Amino acid sequence: MQIGNPKFSFLRRTLLLLIPIALYVGLAIPATNNVLEAINPDGICYIRRAMYLNNGWVERSASAYWSPMISWSIVPFLRAGVDALHAAHWTLAVWGGLYMLAAGWFLHRVAKVRGILLGALMCVIGIFAIHVATSVITPDLLLSTWLFIYLGVVYSPRLLERKRLALLAGAIGGFSFLAKAYAFPVFFAHFAFTLLFFAWTTKRRDPSLAVSQISKRVFATGLLGSIAFVVVTGPWIGLLSYRYHKFTISTVGEIAHAYVGPKDEEEDRPDWFQVPPPPYIIRNEYTDFLPRTDWSPFSSRKNFVHQVSLIGKNSIELLKTAGSLDLLWLPLVAILLLPFAGRRLFDGSEDASEALWTVITLAIYCGGFLFIYFEPRYVNSMMLPLSLALCVLLLRILGARWQMLSIPPVRAVIAGIIVISFFIPAARETYAAMQPRSFPRYREIAQEILKPENMLKGPMASTALTRGTYLAYHLGMPFVGFPPDKNIDEVERRLFATDMGILVLWRPRPDAPQPSTKKARNRMDEIADELIHRPGWRRMLTRKWNPTTQVEVYVHKWPKKKSATTSVAQPLPAVHPAKAQPRAAVPHATSTTAPSEVH
């Protein structure tokens, strides 16, 4: 069979596609199985909203802070009877595979990567996707998947001429928004830039075209894309506006900006002590209803200096994130080498246009995080494929200027260096994901507490805010935290006011050797130690947590009283839908001080 045979070419392309798919499936299944009990606060909120939706509580599942698509994706697993936490992890495993395919299609369509190099780069992306999918339960992979599909569609020199492309790009942009709200500003900023970019390239390609004619094409294409975006996102935005009693697109931006606002040095620890309104069980679930302090960098000199400092700090973090993707910091090297392409970078050639468009795409996506709260996971799943595309494009551009780089063996060696440089860090992270990391103690302790003979009920209080949040999820009980007051009488009074059912403490095991460096305990731990020795407190359960720590469950027989607070939020059934709840806005939780946001 000859190389030119179409049947051979088809089989070769199919094989090069199946290799990364098989690699991903073979590694993603055991890696996901290792983290089925891993949990994080954001993940709880997405899972709980999937449970609300599964039970027919559509309005209660809607949130302007927690994007809906990951919760929607969990629901089919719940319908199939899969445990909710396990369902979330398997959902991310599926989206990791879709992300690999979408990023590979982007490299094929925009960077014109073909053959063995495309298969190798998809393997790198797939291995990286396993690490992202098994880290934390978040919608970052979903957003990146839709954005790479959008980028592959929107990058077309015929965008201004084909109405279907504009409609398709806008619709995919809408699905990106449903995956994560950050896509809203990214889509409109990037779509506008792309329209202007292709207007410029069209004028260079055909100088005879009048500017007014090109402007009409730009306006019509932009209008069609925007209409398609609104059609896809309109029902969700309408539901949010109905839910919040005003036109609402998202609250993520303002909360993420408020979270990094200037704070006074004397500011005390935020008050986490509050009773979640039903059906919520943790404070994070209604983040957008909590009071927050909005701030503007233009309201005072201090705020302006703080914003500039934040931009500088986040810029450094973005550069570190880009450098951490590979061994040689190739994304930064590629950007620094771009000027050496000289006039070829602006000569209108295909490679040069793709490289310019890719760099500005990366800048648009990352630029929004300069002003708000930032974590590397927000950008790394977009940075990796865009960086790979930029490196390959730069190799071709420089090869057109320096003949040595155009020699096939030299180009193959450099391409191999690119693959290896990105492969090794991704492989290290995936190898770590393959190691057993599940910690089933939260589920096991919850099962002990929920035994009928123990007769324990919620709400649950604890000085351990993170551990308490995770345990509350498995219990299905409201988690109130612990009063931050310094006076123990006031602490006990406020616990009494919540109709608290159990107090869960993580304390050192008396039979375990004390560590050489004693961990500092916060004030709430010290007050709790004194509180449980007061009259009326009784320890109901003690279980080993780890070699040095045990978990203790305490109850107190409170005087009978009529409480306006619902004491128990029953766990939601995972399969059978229930009757929808009546429309009601979530009230602010009672608190002595305004709690800070949880991002």
Question: How is 493-546 classified by DSSP, letter by letter?
Answer: HHHHHTT--EEEEEEE-TTSPPPSSPPP--HHHHHHHHHTTSTTEEEEEEEEEE
Place of tokens 């648009």: 364
Q: What is the pLDDT of residue 407?
A: 80
Place of tokens 């979903």: 142
| Alpha-carbon gap, residue 318 to 365, rounded angstroms | 11
Q: How far is CA 441 from CA 38, 83, 448, 545, in A?
A: 11, 16, 10, 7
Interhelix angle for 350-367 vs 380-401, to 10°?
Answer: 150
Which tens digits make up the pLDDT trace of 514-527?
A: 655 555 567 888 89
Does the structure show a pLDDT above 50 at 595? no
Q: Are 542 and 504 within 8 A, CB to CB?
A: no
Q: Are 551 and 542 within 8 A, CB to CB?
A: yes
Q: What is the pLDDT of residue 263?
A: 77
Q: What is the pLDDT of residue 587?
A: 33
**555: enclosing H helix or E strand:** strand 549-556
The phi, psi pair for 588, rounded to 5°, reads -70, 140
Which tens digits make up the pLDDT trace of 216-274?
A: 999 999 999 999 999 999 999 999 999 999 999 999 999 999 999 987 644 444 556 88
Q: Smallest Cα–Cα separation from 62: which of 557, 593, 580?
A: 580
Bond from prior residue into 279 cis (ω within 30 degrees of 0): yes
SS3 per residue for 6-25: HHHHHHHHHHHHHHHHHHHH
The letter for the amino acid at 532 is I
Q: Are 595 and 270 within 8 A, CB to CB?
A: yes
| Alpha-carbon gap, residue 462 to 477, rounded angstroms | 12
Q: What is the pLDDT of residue 576?
A: 31
Q: Are 369 and 377 within 8 A, CB to CB?
A: no
| Alpha-carbon gap, residue 322 to 244, rounded angstroms | 38
Q: What is the pLDDT of residue 521?
A: 61
Q: Smallest Cα–Cα separation from 497: which of 271, 273, 272, 270?
A: 273
Which tens digits make up the pLDDT trace of 330-376?
A: 999 888 888 777 666 666 678 888 999 999 999 999 999 999 999 99
- Considering only CA atoms, give the Rg of the chain: 27
Q: For 264-278, 457-471, 502-516, which range has the lowest pLDDT when averaged over its residues?
A: 264-278
* pLDDT averaged over every residue in the chain: 86
| Alpha-carbon gap, residue 159 to 46, rounded angstroms | 36
**222: enclosing H helix or E strand:** helix 211-244
Strands 460-462 vs 549-556: parallel, antiparallel or unpaired = unpaired
* Averaged pLDDT for residues 133-153: 97
Does the structure show a pLDDT above 90 at 98? yes
Helix, strand or coil, per DSSP, at residue 590: coil
Q: What is the dihedral of CA 161, 163, 166, 172, to 10 degrees?
A: -140
Q: How confident is the model at residue 510 (pLDDT cuts 50, 70, 90)?
A: confident
DSSP one-letter string for 127-151: HHHHHHHTT---SHHHHHHHHHHHH
Q: Smallest Cα–Cα separation from 528: which of 268, 273, 266?
A: 273
* Averaged pLDDT for residues 84-111: 97
Q: Are 330 and 422 within 8 A, CB to CB?
A: yes
Q: How confident is the model at residue 130 (pLDDT cuts 50, 70, 90)?
A: very high
Q: What is the pLDDT of residue 313?
A: 96
Does the structure show a pLDDT above 60 at 4? no
Helix, strand or coil, per DSSP, at residue 191: helix
User: Looking at the DSSP assignment, which residues form a beta bridge with residue 503?
Assistant: 461, 554
Q: What is the pLDDT of residue 207?
A: 83
Place of tokens 């990105």: 422
* Averaged pLDDT for residues 155-178: 94
Q: What is the pLDDT of residue 577?
A: 29
Does the structure show a pLDDT above 70 at 578? no
Which tens digits make up the pLDDT trace of 549-566?
A: 999 999 987 555 444 443
Q: What is the pLDDT of residue 519?
A: 55
Q: What is the pLDDT of residue 8?
A: 57
Cβ neighbours around 387 below 10 Å, total: 23
Token code pair at residue 110: 């925009």
| Alpha-carbon gap, residue 276 to 291, rounded angstroms | 14
Strand ordering across the sheet containing 537-546? 479-481, 460-462, 502-508, 549-556, 537-546
| Alpha-carbon gap, residue 245 to 360, rounded angstroms | 38
Q: What is the pLDDT of residue 13?
A: 81
% of the chain beyond a pLDDT of 90: 66
Q: How confident is the model at residue 7 (pLDDT cuts 50, 70, 90)?
A: low
Token code pair at residue 569: 């939020």
Q: How many helices (H) and strands (E) does the chain have?
A: 20, 5
Q: What is the pLDDT of residue 599?
A: 34
Place of tokens 């109405």: 163
| Alpha-carbon gap, residue 221 to 209, rounded angstroms | 17
Q: How confident is the model at residue 198 (pLDDT cuts 50, 70, 90)?
A: very high
% of the chain beyond a pLDDT of 70: 87
| Alpha-carbon gap, residue 102 to 179, rounded angstroms | 15
